[in-house]
Structure 1
Amino acid sequence: MLPFLIVGGVGLAVLVISLLVGDIFDHFEIGDGAISGTALGVAAVVFGAAGVLTTTSGLDLVWAYVLAAVLAILAYLLALLFVKRITKSSDGIPLSAIGLTGVSRSDITPAGGEVSLDGPGEVERRLAYSDERIAEGARIRVIEHSGTRVKVVAE
């Protein structure tokens, strides 16, 4: 039972570090996000918990390892999918805002301004800029998207 407790404890530490500091594998270019510290932590915790539960229920040690490993792999895959989905939508910004329309909430100049866009997940104002001055309240269309800023033109 001790190996299950150790793996579960290490997994809990990895999970807490990943949640507090950020994913510890983000800085490495490994498999385009195929390795996630959060998902590894979840898998290790599930492995440890499943191993302890199956061992205390009287199952043979070999089957405890097999069951714990299968559950850990399933937990890893589910956690990885969940982490990827959350990461893609965590800031509420669509993958590309190009083509979205909206309304300018302030005067927009090359130096900047604010817009509200009509699109899925667009609930707040967004920083915008334009080559030409656009008056507040005018309808706009996004032609470029960089991070949270968008370049707009008047419609």
Structure 2
Amino acid sequence: MLPFLIVGGVGLAVLLISLVVGDIFDHFDIGDGAISGTALGIAAVVFGASGALTTTNGLDTLWAYVLAAVLAIIAYVIAVVFVKRLTKSSDGVPASALGLSGVTRSTVSPAGGEVSLDGPHEVERRLAYADDTIAEGVRVRVIEHAGTRVKVVAE
């Protein structure tokens, strides 16, 4: 049972690293995304967990390895399909907020602040900054969009 626990533990570590840091195999571009750290982590965790469970329930060790390998391959394929689908569905380009109006939710200054904008894709607050200090609750208009922050002026 120890090999299953080791593989499962390594898989969990790879999965956590891929989820926190990002996919560790993105830099290699192998097979158009066929190798995914997230999918490998999932497959190793499934291999370890299913092998440990089948071994503790009395299944012969050879069959435990076979069953664990089959389930790990199935989990890997499913994970790769989902990762590819999610990657293709996200365009990564935020909608421009240039010209949108909104309200300051905190005092906005050159150092920063928060605004809520009245746009179709604006559901949360945005970080904002302004040349002059603008008090909370004042209507503003976006004049510049820099990354995730917006530059605003009072209307």
- Segments of 5+ residues of structure 2 without an aligned counterpart are 101-118, 123-155
Structure 1 segments (4+ residues) deviating >6 Å: none
Normalising by structure 2, what TM-score? 0.60
Query: Which residues in structure 2 correspond to 1:84-99 (within 5 Å)?
Result: 84-91=84-91
CA distance in 1, matches of 2:19, 2:87: 13
For the pair 1:33 / 2:39, whether they are aligned, the reply is: no
- Give the 3 Å change call, closer, same or farther, for CA 23–92 of structure 1 in structure 2: closer
- Identity rate of aligned residues, in percent? 78
- Give the 3 Å change call, closer, same or farther, for CA 27–92 of structure 1 in structure 2: closer
Secondary structure class of the residue paired with 1:26: coil
Query: Which residues in structure 2 correspond to 1:6-155 (within 5 Å)?
Result: 6-91=6-91, 106=99, 123=121
CA RMSD for the aligned pairs? 2.8
Normalising by structure 1, what TM-score? 0.60
Deviation of 1:87 after TM superposition, in Å, equals 1.3
Q: Which amino acid aligns with 2:56?
A: T
Deviation of 1:88 after TM superposition, in Å, equals 1.5
